[in-house]
Structure 1
Amino acid sequence: MKEVTAAIITKDDLILIAQRGKDENLAGKWEFPGGKIESGETPQECLKREIKEELNIEIQVGEFLGESIYTYPNGQIKLMGYFATIVKGNFELSVHDEVKWVSIDEIDNFDFAPADIPLVKKLKFSR
């Protein structure tokens, strides 16, 4: 099982979501940005690295939100979600087509990747 992280980046009362790029698996689906944990990396270190690579921003990783285990056709993942805030940087997208700041009330209007859906639900009930 692959271990993958997701950053629930917040600003004021908004949450950052990202749309997977047209050349990516699950193209067009929305997600909380993040990626695969590399050998010897903590989930928090992974998130900082992945967010820098994918969005060109630096984040501060906060509390653990929860996890989701999902089986995709190419294998099972364990997605671990952490709250985060932006420390510095301007968005430069490398694997996503778009990012949006949305409120918790708007979040159901987006078509999320299956592994992210349990985190969306947990987020809605944690606020």
Structure 2
Amino acid sequence: MDKIKVVCGIIYKDDRVLICRRKASKSLGGYWEFPGGKVEENETYEESLKRELLEELGLEVTIDSHFLDNTHQYETANIELISFKCSTEQSEIKQVDHDRTEWVLISSLLDWQLAPADIPIAKSLMNTYRCL
């Protein structure tokens, strides 16, 4: 099975990060995730992330740094999730692939039903945040 490359943004606002809940009609419906999407052919990871966040949330972001990559085997696909720390000046968010968005405390990330591929990123983020 080929590995699907997916990018996600860890978008900060003060001591909170943005998570989004997938619509019930989508795969992994009801799960929360760091927003992003599939990398298209001939795109860099950064280009893909900026495009996906604009398409799905109407957000323009500044990509600050690469954070962590995680490979996860779902029943139907093997994905490599590539995460980046981001920031935005925008406050309005549109919802295309998600039915809810929340700005949550980093320390509470594991209190949400995160998609399995996002959990290692959340744990690493929480550990990094505790060290600051």
What's the TM-score bracket when you normalise by the shorter of the two chains? over 0.9
Identity fraction in percent: 36
TM-score of the superposed pair, with normalisation by structure 2: 0.92
Pick the structure with more strand per residue: 1
Of 109-118 and 83-92, more deviation after overlay is shown by 83-92
RMSD of aligned residue pairs (Cα, Å): 1.0
> Separation in 2 of the partners of 1:26 and 1:33?
13
SS in structure 2 at match of 1:17: strand
1:116 equivalent to 2:118? Answer yes
Count of residues in Structure 1 that have an aligned counterpart in Structure 2: 127
Q: Which residue of 2 is the match for residue 61 of structure 1?
A: 63
| Displacement after TM superposition at 1:89 (Å) | 6.3
What's the offset of the Cα at 1:107?
1.2
Partner of 1:13: 15
Classify the secondary structure of the residue corresponding to 2:70: strand
Aligned counterpart in structure 1 of residue 35 of structure 2, from 33, 36, 47: 33
- Deviation string 1:2-35 (CA, Å, 9 cap, x unpaired) is 1100100001111100001111100000000000
User: Gaps spanning 5+ residues in structure 1: where?
Assistant: none
Q: Is the 8 A contact 2:17 2:105 kept in 1?
A: yes
CA distance in 1, matches of 2:6, 2:91: 23
Q: CA deviation at 1:90?
A: 2.1
Q: TM-score, normalised by structure 1?
A: 0.96
1:104 pairs with 2:106: yes
Give 4+ residue runs of structure 1 displaced > 6 Å after superposition.
none
Query: C-alpha displacement at 1:78, in angstroms?
Result: 0.3
